[in-house]
Amino acid sequence: MTPRRIVVAGGGTAGWMAAAALSRTLGRTAEVILVESDAIGTVGVGESTIPPLVNYNRLLGIGEAEFMRATQATFKLGILFDNWKEPGSRYFHSFGTTGKDHWSAGFQHYWLEGLTRGHTQSYDDYCLELVAAFQNKFAHLPDDRLNYAYQLDSGLYGRFLRQLAEAAGTRRIEGRITNVELDGGSGNIVALLLDGDRRVEGDLFLDCTGFRGLLIEGALHAGFDDWTHWLPCDSAIALQTASVGPPEPYTRAIAHDAGWQWRIPLQHRVGNGIVYASRYLDHDAALERLLGNIEGAVLTEPNKLRFVTGARRRQWHRNCVAIGLSGGFMEPLEATSIHLIQRAVLRLIRMMPAGEISPSDVAEFNDQQMQDMVQIRDFLILHYKVTDRRDSPFWRQCAAMPVPDTLSQKIALFRDTARVFRKNEELFAENSWVQVMMGQGLMPRSHHPVAGKLTDEELAKLLSVLRDQVARTAATLPPHGDYVARYCGAPRADAA
DSSP 241-255: EE--SPPPSSEEEEE
What is the band of 164 on the pLDDT scale with cuts at 50, 70, 90?
Answer: very high
pLDDT of residue 494: 52
The confidence score (pLDDT) of residue 393 equals 98
pLDDT of residue 495: 42
What is the fold of 4-47+153-228+309-357?
A: FAD/NAD(P)-binding domain (3.50.50)
Distance (Å, rounded) from C-alpha 285 to C-alpha 394? 15
What was the pLDDT predicted at 38? 85
Give percent of the chain above pLDDT 70: 97
**Can you point out the beta strands (E) in 4-145?**
4-9, 30-36, 74-76, 78-82, 90-94
Dihedral sign for Cα 236, 342, 212, 197, please: positive
| Edge-to-edge strand list for the sheet holding 189-194 | 177-182, 189-194, 198-201
> At residue 184, what are phi and psi to the nearest 5 degrees?
-65, -25
211 pLDDT higher than 50: yes
Mean pLDDT within 208-222: 97
Strand partners, 304: 237
* Residue 452 pLDDT class (50, 70, 90 cuts): very high
* Tens-place pLDDT, residues 256-267: 999 999 999 999
DSSP state of 429: -
Q: How far is CA 411 from CA 71, 378, 382, 402, 407, in A?
A: 38, 10, 8, 13, 6
* 488: amino acid identity, one letter: C
By the 8 A CB rule, do 151 and 484 touch?
no
Give residue-wise pLDDT tens across range 312-348: 999 999 999 999 999 999 999 999 999 999 999 999 9
* Residue 423 confidence (pLDDT): 84
In the sheet that holds 171-174, the strands lie side by side as 171-174, 30-36, 4-9, 204-207, 320-322, 316-317
Inform me whether the pLDDT recorded for 7 exceeds 60. yes
Strand partners, 176: none
Nearest to 106 by CA among 349, 451, 370: 451
What is the per-residue pLDDT for 144?
Answer: 83
Summarize pLDDT for 401-449 with one digit per residue, the tens: 999 999 999 999 999 999 999 888 899 999 999 999 999 999 999 999 9
CA dist 475 and 75 (Å) reads: 18
Q: Contact 383/333 with Cβ under 8 angstroms?
A: yes
Per DSSP (E only), the strands in 113-194 are 149-151, 171-174, 177-182, 189-194
Read off the pLDDT of residues 123-142 as tens digits, 9 standing for 90 and up: 999 999 999 999 999 999 99
Which of the four pLDDT bands, split at 50, 70 and 90, describes residue 42?
Answer: low
Q: How high is the pLDDT of residue 148?
A: 98
Three-class SS state of 49:
coil
DSSP character at residue 2: P
Query: What is the reported pLDDT for 39?
Result: 78
| Residue 44 predicted with pLDDT over 60 | no
**E strand segments, 10-151:** 30-36, 74-76, 78-82, 90-94, 149-151
Q: From CA 48, how far away is CA 334, in angstroms rounded?
A: 9
- Tabulate helix, strand, coil % of the chain (nearest 5): 40, 20, 40
DSSP state of 48: B
pLDDT score, position 496: 33
* CA 246 remoteness from chain centre: 23
Instruction: Please state the rounded mean pLDDT for residues 59-77.
Output: 96
Strand partners, 151: 48, 74
Task: Work out the angle at residue 378's Cα, subtended by the Cα atoms of residues 435 and 285, and round it to the nearest 5 degrees.
Answer: 90
Mean of pLDDT values over 15-42: 91
Is the pLDDT at 2 greater than 90? The verdict is: no
Amino acid at 162: R
Among candidates 169, 136, 161, which has minimal Cα distance to 71? 161
Mean pLDDT of the chain: 95
Instruction: Decide if 129 contacts 146 (C-beta within 8 A).
Output: yes
Residue 290 in contact with residue 260, Cβ under 8 Å?
Answer: no
Per the CB < 8 A criterion, the answer to whether 403 and 429 are in contact is no
Q: Give the Cα separation of 376 and 359 in Å (integer).
A: 26
Residue 154 has pLDDT above 60, yes or no: yes
Residues of the chain with CATH 3.50.50.60: 4-47+153-228+309-357
Count Cα neighbours of 477 within 13 Å in the Cβ-side half-sphere.
28
Model confidence at 1, in pLDDT bands (50, 70, 90)? Answer: very low
pTM value is 0.96
Report residue 354's pLDDT band, with 50, 70 and 90 as the boundaries.
confident
